Structure 1
Amino acid sequence: MNTELMYRRILFFFLLGLFVNTVLAAQTSLQASIDEWVADDYFTHTSVGIAVADATTGELLAGHDSERSLIPASNLKLLTTASALKILGPDYQFETQLAYDGYVDAEGVLSGNLYLVGSGDPSLGSPDMEGTPGLEALLERFSLAVQQAGIRQITGRVITDERAFSSAANGSHWQWLDMGNYYGCGAFGLNLHDNLYYLRFQQRSQLGAVPPIANISPDIPGLQFANEVKSAGRGSGDNAYIYGAPYTYQRHLRGTIPVGSGSFTIKGAIPDPPLFAAQQLQRTLESVGILCLRPPATARSLGDALPALGEPKVLYTHKSPRLQHIADRTNMESVNLYAEALLRAIGQKANGEGSAEAGLEAIKTYWESRGLDLGGVLLYDGSGMAPRNVLPPAFFCDLLSAMYQDEDIQQVFWESLPLAGRSGSLKNSLKGTAAEGKLRAKSGSLEQVRAYSGYVTSRSGRVLAFSVLLNNYQGSGGDARRKLLAIMARLAE
């Protein structure tokens, strides 16, 4: 044998052995870190599952009860946004049309109705979403389109058509505690202003005193409050809850806000966003002298009395930001409305039905076709609000690995996740650790549930997918979060 060739082979096998030993040592060290972390007495009565995989291969490297089905809370948004990016596409845009039926005479009288036809855009008139006009600016665009069409009076109604999505806007297993608050607003076929309103209290200086309601913004016609909120210690934070169901206008306010001398704001869920949209549009039209002779309505409220739209005359089409930007806000800021709207849009495209059930069925079908094992996965919504949702940490690693290996979507999905020490829910976390600037993860929290799933680049440059879920922990949520951050920091080492 050629001497040079022999030396090359020896060197190759030496380096291969060195690489294998290094990988095995790192894997052993990773498992040892997890074992040590789980052995903490803190977890004696806690259900904990953790999985760590090589994102480039999907190989499970280490874990603890990685196949245990646990409540993921908002980590579920990872599945929803990943599915939306793949099924709908990163360039998908929701469209909202302003149209009319009937005819407009020479005097500018529309003998017919004005319609706002939704497709479930969660960002319509959002106060916070970049790249889309806010409520007032949006209504001005609609009003201008009507004026430019020469319409000066409407003999019929302003009608919002929200039938793109099911009327079951909330998750089937959501808690009563949540549904009246902004984060439990649900997703309708026509959403507006993030489906939320601001409720401002005038603070009181005396403990136990009832702080009166100062105002709500924007105004919600017919909304009524039974105020039982009390004043608690200074700095006690927002512990006030709004109780009420969708489509109903009686709200009960309970809990506490801090004592003080200023105003204190909480956010509530608009009971019927499609009706609110019709009311707001009619109010804007009337402010510029365009009168509507009949009261505003929705397709749901009219039922069989809804006129057949036929071939509507479109005045204006509003397009949402591209889906990749909606997914970014969904994960970065954990917006439940956006996740639920994406779930229903998936159902509409894949199964012709804009419902949570149709969306979940489409998601299951898609990922099974990609070879993912959905054993132990039980889902009821797209946001993680339902405490009946359960997934194994190993499933999250499979999902994250699949997205990392997808060259077309990898970067979009990767950048939608909060970055340790820099952005989102991790902006102020893991600073000064090996994870700062190297770990991206979605957080999740419900009562006695804390979770993180995402990616971390180790010191060796290896990209790991990880998921760690805690259920039924003891003590405060802050303590649970600190435990999770500790193991995440170690994953980056």
Structure 2
Amino acid sequence: MTVKNYSFGMLFLFLLIFMIGSGATDRNNEAANTIEERNTMTKQIESFIKSEPKLNGAITGISVRSASNGEKLYEHMGDVRLRPASNMKLLTAAAALAVLGENHTFSTEILTTGSIKSGTLTGDLFLKGKGDPTLLPSDFDNFAKKIKESGVNVIKGDIVADDTWYDEVRLSPDLIWSDEHWYYGAQISALTASPDTDFDAGTVIVEVGPRSKGKKPDVTVSPKTNYIEVKNTAITSEPSAEEDLTLKRVHGENTLTIEGTIPAGSAVIKEWMTVWEPTGYAMDLFQQSLKEEGISWTGKVKMNAAPSEAEVLYSHESMPLSEVLVPFMKLSNNTIAEVLVKEMGKVVHGEGSWEKGLEVVETELTKMGMNTGSLMIRDGSGISHATLIPPNEISKLLYAVQSQSWYDSYLHSLPIAGKADRMTGGTLRSRMEDKNIQAKTGTIYGVSTLSGMVETESGEKLIFSIMLNNLLDEEDGPEIEDKIVELIQSQ
């Protein structure tokens, strides 16, 4: 009996040792395979960088991390400060969610300083903006209807715009002059308007359509506004000619010039052009809406702060920040980025400025583990050529945000590669179809960037940041980035 028990015990011990040994071998094999995969990825990416002629003379920064534990798996010049372009929006969005919260809204108020009696408001009417970048022409129509419903037909006083929620600085510090008239260089005001649901606040949509040869093309501006003057010297050319049309806004004015030629029978040219001083633009739309409701006023149209004793007649709330993030990140909306910076400054420091807002951004990024001492942040959108961030810091942020309560809203806002819908695929809608990638793009002169998350062929989730600087043509960037992502994903 003793011998049998001893034999059984020895057998059990041998089996246990064998199982442990097998498990250790499996783990060793798995670790060896992982190391081999990492070495393969490193070799493939390094080989590609060396062999790609479009990267000759350029700076290539890459950082790859595990999404599960943040371990850095690969880097190429990962600690070198590079221009992020719109990858800066990854930082702005994270800070805004942390400071303002997913449910934060922007309000617009209608205030009065007088009394309403027998259809007449004796006193001034104020339109006070608090930064809402999503106000549409239909919202101004609704404001007028609410005023009408409150019993006002005549205003014996002034119509006053109050944009004092933010400071008077309209353009971010490093915006170059040639970007001022395009939608991505719009001026920032606490009272502004967007022409459509892309929410490019402070812009109008200009459409130029050909007529018969020799005639001036048709030009339409929407929304209709008296704030814009159009000088059209363009000519419709013969159908076989090439399009050679130039649209500009005169600096310091709201005069749009249209010059050159457009071929007969060609498609309509459509551009989003900025206005000079968006507060006045919003007020022009508001005046139109008041007139359409049959509301008149005896005073002037002014710009001033509403007095503290003014009473709120109506308050409008925007969609929550979690929804604003979708057009912001998917479409890479620069105006929303800069509004968020000023809003953070206003909420935290009581000053809606770039200086105070960026202080808040850096404070929040430090809390999330970024080494802000290695960054140069000049704006919220990344249009600045002075903003500098290392790829390792971007990948570090993308790892850290996963633990935040608002992460789902953050991730939802990122473009999904290959998804045709603009509010799903965003700036990645025509790239890397069926690759299971969510990432933020970025482009300015000589710069192309892409940072986000990818699922590898083995099912592992990885975080990556690819930053290409000093390119001779930034349009070469996406193809190069897509190839690097493909190499990362193949592991």
TM superposition score normalised by structure 2: 0.87
Q: Who is 2:285 aligned against? A: 280
Q: For 1:290, which of 281, 285, 295 is the aligned residue?
A: 295
Letter in 1 for 2:320: R
Residue 139 of structure 1: aligned partner: 140
Q: Which residue of 1 aligns with 2:459?
A: 461
When residues 272 and 366 of structure 1 are mapped into structure 2, their CA distance, relative to the original with a 3 A threshold, is same
Q: Distance in 1 between matches of 2:99 and 2:261?
A: 43
User: What one-letter code is carried by the residue in structure 1 that aligns with 2:409?
Assistant: V
From 2, 25, 42, give the equivalent of 1:14. Answer: 25
For residues 52-73 of structure 1, the C-alpha deviation after alignment (integer angstroms, 9 at most, x for no partner) is 1112222211121111111111
Give the aligned residue type for 1:121: D
Please list, as runs of the form range in 1=range in 2, the aligned pairs for 1:430-445 lying within 5 A after superposition.
430-431=432-433, 436-445=434-443
CA distance 1:222–1:93, change in 2 (3 Å): closer
What letter corresponds to residue 91 of structure 1 in structure 2? N
CA contact (8 A) 2:145 2:293 kept: no
- The residue type equivalent to 1:31 in the other structure is T
Q: Which structure has the bigger radius of gyration?
A: 2
| Cα drift, residue 352 of structure 1 | 1.6
3-state SS in 2 of match to 1:14: helix
Unaligned runs of 5+ in 1: 126-134, 300-305
Structure 2, gaps ≥5 residues long: 1-9, 195-200, 420-424
- Alignment-derived partner of residue 249 in structure 1: 254
State whether structure 2 residue 443 is matched by structure 1 residue 426: no
Shift of 1:205: 7.5
Deviation at 1:249, TM superposition (A): 2.7
User: Are 1:257 and 1:264, in contact at CA under 8 Å, matched by a contact in 2?
Assistant: no
Kept after mapping to 1: 8 A contact 2:114/2:124:
yes
Q: How many residues align?
A: 465
Amino acid at match of 2:35: L
Q: 1:293 to 1:349 in 2, by over 3 A?
A: same
Which residue pairs with 2:113 in the alignment?
101
> 2:183 corresponds to which letter in structure 1?
Y
Aligned match of 1:216? 221
Whether the aligned pair in 1 keeps the contact of 2:230 and 2:256 (CA below 8 Å) is yes
Give the match for residue 205 of structure 2: 198
User: Cα RMSD (Å) of the superposition?
Assistant: 2.6
Q: Any idea what the Cα deviations from partners look like across 1:391-425, whole Å, max 9, x if unmatched?
A: 1111110111111233x222221121111111112
Report the secondary structure of 2:219's partner residue.
Answer: strand
Out of 481, 487, 491, which is 2:488 matched to?
491
Structure 1 residue 257 displacement after superposition = 6.7
Q: Which residue of 2 aligns with 1:83?
A: 95
Q: How far apart, CA to CA, are the structure 1 residues paired with 2:240 and 2:87?
A: 33
1:205/1:152 CA distance change after superposition, 3 Å? closer
Q: 2:438 matched to 1:417?
A: no
Equivalent-residue separation in structure 2 for 1:384 and 1:347 (angstroms): 18
Q: What are the superposed Cα offsets for residues 94-146 of structure 1, whole Å, 9 maximum, x if unpaired?
A: 111122111112x2211111112211011111xxxxxxxxx13x123211211
Q: Residue 368 of structure 2 contacts residue 397 of structure 2 at CA under 8 Å; is this kept in 1?
A: no
Partner of 1:259: 263
Judge conservation of contact 2:127–2:162 (CA < 8 Å) in 1. Answer: yes
**Percent of aligned pairs sharing the same letter:** 26
The residue type paired with residue 206 of structure 2 is L
Q: Structure 1 residues 238, 292: closer, same or farther in 2, change over 3 A?
A: farther
Which residue of structure 2 lines up, in the alignment, with residue 321 of structure 1?
Answer: 319
Q: Secondary structure at the match of 1:39?
A: helix
Supply the AA of the counterpart residue of 1:365: T
| Secondary structure of the corresponding residue to residue 177 of structure 1 | helix
- For 2:342 and 2:166, how far apart are their aligned partners in 1? 7
Amino acid corresponding to residue 460 of structure 1 in structure 2: S
Letter in 2 for 1:59: E
CA distance, structure 2, for counterparts of residue 121 and residue 328 of structure 1: 15
One-letter amino acid matched to 2:222: S
Shift of 1:238: 8.8
Partner of 2:380: 382
Rounded to whole Å, the distance in 2 between the matches of 1:175 and 1:365 is: 27
- Tell me which residue corresponds to 2:183: 182
Distance 2:373 2:223 in 1: 45
TM-score computed with the length of structure 1 as normaliser? 0.87
Q: Which residue of 2 aligns with 1:372?
A: 370
Which residue identity is paired with 2:207?
R
Code of the residue aligned with 1:196 in structure 2: it is T
CA distance in 2, matches of 1:44, 1:314: 61
Are the equivalent residues in 2 in contact too, given 1:439–1:492 (CA < 8 A)? no
Contact 2:449 2:477 in 1 (8 A): no
Q: Distance in 1 between matches of 2:165 and 2:450?
A: 33
SS in 1 for 2:477: helix
Matched with 2:86 is 74
SS at match of 2:101: coil
1:481 aligns with 2:467: no
Q: Does structure 2 conserve the Cα–Cα contact (< 8 Å) formed by 1:441 and 1:452?
A: yes
- Is structure 2 residue 159 aligned with structure 1 residue 158? yes
* Alpha-carbon separation, structure 2, partners of 1:245 and 1:453: 35
Cα distance in 1, alignment partners of residues 487 and 251 from structure 2: 44
Distance 1:268 1:69, change over 3 A: same
Displacement after TM superposition at 1:370 (Å):
2.8
3-state SS of 1:383 partner = coil
- Check 1:331–1:343 CA distance in 2 against 1; reply closer, same or farther (3 A cut): same
1:348-380: CA deviation from partner (whole Å, max 9, x where unpaired): 122221111211111111111332112431121
Q: Is 1:46 paired with 2:58?
A: yes
Contact 2:109 2:315 in 1 (8 A): yes
Q: For residue 355 of structure 2, give the secondary structure of its aligned residue in structure 1.
A: helix
What displacement does 1:175 show?
0.9
Distance 2:314 2:276 in 1: 26
- Change in CA separation of 1:464 and 1:489 when aligned onto 2, cut-off 3 Å: same
Task: Give the conservation status (yes or no) of the 8 Å contact 1:113–1:157.
Answer: yes
